[in-house]
Amino acid sequence: MVDWEVLDLSIGTSNAYQQSAQLYANGRMQVVVHVWISAQTKGTNQPYNLNPDELSNIALVDYNDPYNGLDRDGEMRGDWQYSEKPGEYTQPLPSSRVVGAATDLPQLARGSQTQTYWVTTTAQENKDIAASIYQPDGILVNTTMASFESRITLQGLTPIVYTTDKDSTAVDKVFVTQGSYHCDWEGSYNPYWHQDNFYFSTKQFPLHNVELHWYDRTGHDNGHDNDPCLVGAFAKQLQNDYQVSHSADLNVFFIWEHGTKSPTKAGLYRKWGNITANAYANIEVDQRAQALCLTRLKFNFFPGLGELWGAQWAFSPWFIVYDIHGNSGTFEAKFSEDHDSVVIQDSRRSSATASSDKASVSKQAIKPSLHDKAETEAAVEAFKEKYKV
């Protein structure tokens, strides 16, 4: 083991001249902290390069109490923590950005080595931070000493909590596409389908990630329909159309994992009596990188024949959105009273209870809407006339 001693030790944030930074105190956002060190073999002028294990012994400490170190690598006992590995939310705030050339870094100017850490906090306060390391001879060297004086000040900001307030988030409804699906019923027919997407986005900072709960992840979690093209669905409901008696239009609602590939085949196969419906559509989803995509997919069918679709069902999906700085908001996805649109509401749920909560699915049978034989036959003939190939 080589006996070495510290020649220089300093601390900074994005570069050697940046001594402060801001971060949201949400426990997720991280800011970068660099520590620069140069050493020599003790008693000589021979430069010494610390190995990776020795560099990792550099600690971040409270500048005003250098024997009180910040928590490290996953052990969040206190309000401040640091790690050698960056997490998901490392985008700096505009006020913390400093544009500088690579030559600003002191290791390039005087041969120093750099140890980089990522700091996060849950405290809404200013924190002065120093760097320290023990030499092989047991002497503690830190940047509170006059010969190595340097510190950084990190400011923990109040986290943003996103809500459905118009200044906080937005829902953008977009008609995407339409087409027809195939139905066999004493002949071939092509009823229509059409798709609306609903894009949910955050306003203060761009949306980065979404955590989804309580929806059909397999295509058969709903307990009634078993179809891989129902993956992502959270409700299957007949249209509540006050202008059309006995509406049989079916709306299937989807909530998509952020980053879902497009196009996507969605829908279901249904057979009722001598009617077979291949109600599938190739749809476009998740075209906006910084928004959560939800879909209402409507399958038109002739009034009075809604029994084709079987039972209606609905989950109570909820989700947490995170912006690029790790700020979050929790919401629930529902459908409108007429079963034709997506509705987003604030939610009090939390990821802390997500693993213990079990998704529930409500079900409702579709009752026969036409009891009169003549009415049924008239509906059948009208359907065939409208949708015949």
Structure confidence by residue, pLDDT tens digits, 183-241 = 998 788 999 999 999 999 999 999 999 999 999 999 999 999 999 999 999 999 998 86
Q: What is the mean pLDDT of residues 253-266?
A: 91
| Averaged confidence pLDDT in the chain | 89
User: Who contacts 289 (Cβ-Cβ below 8 Å, separation ≥6)?
Assistant: none
Backbone angles phi, psi at 249, to 5 degrees: -70, 135
Calpha distance 16→90 (Å, rounded) = 19
Per-residue model confidence (pLDDT) at position 75: 66
Per-residue model confidence (pLDDT) at position 302: 83
Q: What is the pTM of this model?
A: 0.87
In Å, how far are 70, 128, 130, 142 from 64, measured between CA atoms? Answer: 12, 7, 9, 12
**For residues 347 and 318, is the Cβ–Cβ distance under 8 A?**
yes
Domain with CATH 2.60.40 in the chain: 4-157
Query: What residue type is assigned to position 73 of the chain?
Result: D
Residues in the chain: 389
Domain 4-157 has what CATH class?
mainly beta
In sequence order, the β-bridge partners of residue 200 are 171, 292
Backbone angles phi, psi at 54, to 5 degrees: -70, -40
Q: Residue 99: pLDDT above 60?
A: no
Q: Residue 123: pLDDT above 50?
A: yes
